Amino acid sequence: MHELSIAQSIVEIVGQYVPPAQQEQVRKITVRIGAMAGVVPDSLEFCFSAVIHRTPLAGAVMEIEHVPFTVSCQSCYTTSETEPGLALCPLCGSVDTEVKSGTELQVVSIDVDEATTGAP
Amino acid sequence: MSVITIERKVLEKNDEVARRNREVFDDHGILVLNMVSSPGAGKTSILERTLEELRDKLRIAVIEGDVQTDLDARRVAKYNVPAVQIVTRGGCHLEANLIQEAMGSLKLDSIDLLIIENVGNLVCPSNYDLGEAMKVVVASTTEGDDKPLKYPAMFRNASVLIINKIDLLPYLTSDLATLKDNALKINPSLTVFEVSCTTKQGITQWCEWLLENAQRRPAS
């Protein structure tokens, strides 16, 4: 349900880098979503398209970089991908683990088409 | 085509407001709990039992978050503690700026413990820091013992797990040990309490722990 407010935050962040007059040139917004970020990528894409509808950003697409949930084990010194959220090391079963990735929720980059920049 | 690399956290605005809230709470020496659970797990009932037990020992205030109605704030008002109701009108979680606004209606100098009751939802509130000292997740026995595995983010981010409705265990197939095991698989550092708001079993242990933690926070 909160994908809508996340989509709005993404558009707000884009606005800090690209002024409204140039937003029509934005082609792609890349976001990074961890497996345990609590965000449903399909919902986010749907909400994003609703938020940009009839705005200068309407021509932009969202690209999602998925990040797996990984833990590093302090007992067997390995880093492995595991079921999102589980603290158990999938190799040795230890609970003495540290989350290495999977909680990301970031705007990575914005692709702007310069060819049309400044065009009337 | 030019690529602007920004690498910004999407929720950084919320995190920034939460950081400021936390500073204000710390300056006033207030212990702040963010209570989360699915709808109907018993957050408000636990809150009521906690107020009964601790209102003479601590100066407590409550912020109630609900999608609609002020029913919970009215339940809490009976205990003569300051209570602010936030109605999210469809919003599935509380955000730091809503807490910042609500703080304006509270006398922060005369509060030791602030309990924020979040909207009943095990997904969305886990993303939003409110400025609390700890998240307290409530899981009731009637929800089944696999809840922590289904909603890991909430259990991973919490410091305390209160298992409620233990008086109903004889009538259920869900198993208390399995529920605890599953929660500790997600988050081995959880402090766990087992309570029943109906029989009041376990409430004293929870309240004693809370009292000790609230008294350990003198205003800086």
Q: Which residues of chain B have pLDDT under 70?
A: 218-220
- Closest-CA residue of B relative to A37 is B127
Q: Measured between beta carbons, which residues in chain B are less than 8 angstroms from residue A105?
A: 9-11, 127
- Tens-digit pLDDT profile for residues A20-39: 999 999 999 999 999 988 89
pLDDT at A115: 66
pLDDT at B103: 97
pLDDT at A1: 62
Map tokens 């983010």 to a residue: B153
Across the interface, whether the CB atoms of B187 and A88 are under 8 A apart is answered: no
A17, A38, A112 member nearest B127 (Cβ):
A38
A26 vs A53, A57, B131, CA distance in Å?
A: 14, 7, 35
Q: Say yes or no to pLDDT of A119 above 50.
A: no
Q: How far apart are CA B25 and CA B108, in angstroms?
A: 8
Question: With b meaning 16 or more CB within 10 Å and e meaning fewer, what string describes B178-207?
Answer: ebbebbbbbbeebeebbbbbeeeebbeebb
Across the interface, whether the CB atoms of B4 and A88 are under 8 A apart is answered: no
Q: pTM higher than 0.90 for the full model?
A: no
pLDDT band for position A85 (cuts 50, 70, 90):
confident
pLDDT at B123: 84
pLDDT at A2: 84
Q: Say yes or no to pLDDT of A117 above 60.
A: no
pLDDT band for position A116 (cuts 50, 70, 90):
low
Q: Tell me the average pLDDT across A41-53.
A: 95
Those residues whose C-beta lies under 8 Å from the C-beta of residue B154, and which sit 6 or more positions away, are B36, B122, B123, B125, B126, B135, B137
B156 Cβ under 8 Å from any chain A Cβ? yes
Query: B130 phi and psi, to 5 degrees?
Result: -105, -10
pLDDT at A38: 85
Q: Measured between beta carbons, which residues in chain B are less than 8 angstroms from residue A2?
A: 92-93, 123-124, 127-128
Q: Measured between beta carbons, which residues in chain A are less than 8 angstroms from residue B161?
A: none
